[in-house]
Structures are given as C-alpha cells and as structure tokens.
Amino acid sequence: MTHQLDGTDIKILRELQRNGRARRNKLAEIVGLSVPSVSERMKKLEEKNLIDGYYAVLDPRSFDIDITAFIFVQVDNSSFYADFVEAAKEEAEVLECHSITGDGSHFLKIRTRNTESLERLLSKIQTMPGVKKTRSNIVLSTFKETREIPLQEEVS
C-alpha cells in the first residue's frame, strides 16, 4: 500500500464502500470520532485519490438492460492499443475495458438491452482500430458483483 492508513481510515473506507451515502455523523459513531474529525479524514482520503467518487449502483434489469457479456478482444498489435481503448471508452455499453495477458489483448465488460443490441455492439467492436478477433461470453446468472475491495489494517 502506498499510503499509510490507520485503523480508523480503514473503517471509514470500508463503510463508504458499503454505503457511499453514509452520513458523517454515522461514520463518526462507527469510528468513535467527532463529525469534524471524520470530515477532515475524508477530505484527506479524497485528496490522496483513495476515494475516487461516490456512486449510485443501479439495477440494470430495472432499465430493461438484460444482457451482460464479457468480450475478449485481440488487437492486431500494440500500435492500435491507444486507438482501440479510446474507441471502447466512447461506447456507453462498455462498462469496463482492461488490457490483459493470455488470450486476447483486451477484456471488455458490457451491458446491453438484448441480443439484437449485443449484435450491433459486437459489429462496432469488430470494426474498431486494429481489432483482429473477438470472443464473447454471455452471462446467464450473477451470484456476486461488487466494486468493494478488501481492506486490511497494516500489521506493525
């Protein structure tokens, strides 16, 4: 870990991961500090870019977004990487774009309405700069999905 965090910082971060709307008085109660102290700690965590933002997590099915898929993309060579990444970032249905090792060069997580919109998106992806090959996996069921990262206190 590049930043020194004490147990109180870890507790604040854990709670914010679980509930980004947690009120500062609730956080103060959890960690045993005053509200101004918690506010100051949160400000420092934000300044260190340890907190990237606060988001609402929406249920895709409530918006008729029924397809989640993972797409392995093989980009022909590294000269195309930057252009491919920029093109992928422009697609609203692409939720994540990762450069990977193993099969392919990039891994995309997408969410789209139905198989028809998936087919359209795949056609777009296959015409992005340098794309040589794609392989898609459609999600049937999801048992765990989180953005919460495991945090552990430093052992001295």
pLDDT at 153: 66
143 has pLDDT over 90: yes
**CATH code of the domain containing 120:** 3.30.70.920
Q: Answer whether 69's CB lies under 8 Å from 110's CB.
A: yes
- Please write the tens of the pLDDT for every residue from 47-90: 999 999 998 889 999 999 999 999 999 999 889 999 999 999 99
67-75 β-sheet, strand order = 94-99, 106-112, 67-75, 131-138
pLDDT band at 154 (very low <50, low <70, confident <90, very high): low
Q: Which conformational region is residue 34 in: left (phi greater than 0), alpha (psi within -120 to 50 degrees), or beta?
A: beta
Residues 30 and 77 placed together within one structural domain of the fold: no
Residue 21 lies in a domain: yes
Q: Are both 91 and 129 inside the same structural domain? A: yes
Q: Report yes or no on 156 lying in a domain.
A: no
Q: Which domain holds residue 25?
A: 7-47
* 111-135 residue pLDDT tens: 999 999 999 999 999 999 999 999 9
Residue 18 lies in a domain: yes
Taking phi over 0 as left and psi of -120 to 50 as alpha, with beta for the rest, 82 belongs to alpha
Residues 94, 129, single domain; the answer is yes
What local confidence, expressed as pLDDT, does residue 156 receive?
43
- Asked if residue 1 has pLDDT above 90, the reply is no
Q: For residue 12, count other CB atoms closer than 10 A to its CB.
A: 23
Q: Is 48 strand, coil or helix?
A: coil
Tally of domains in the chain: 2
Tell me, yes or no, whether 20 and 65 share the same domain.
no
Tokens of 126: 């296959």
Task: Verify that 43 and 76 share a domain, yes or no.
Answer: no
Q: What is the mean pLDDT of residues 137-155?
A: 87
Q: Assign residue 19 the CATH number of its domain.
A: 1.10.10.10
Based on the domain organization, do 82 and 18 belong to the same domain?
no
Structural domain includes residue 145 = no
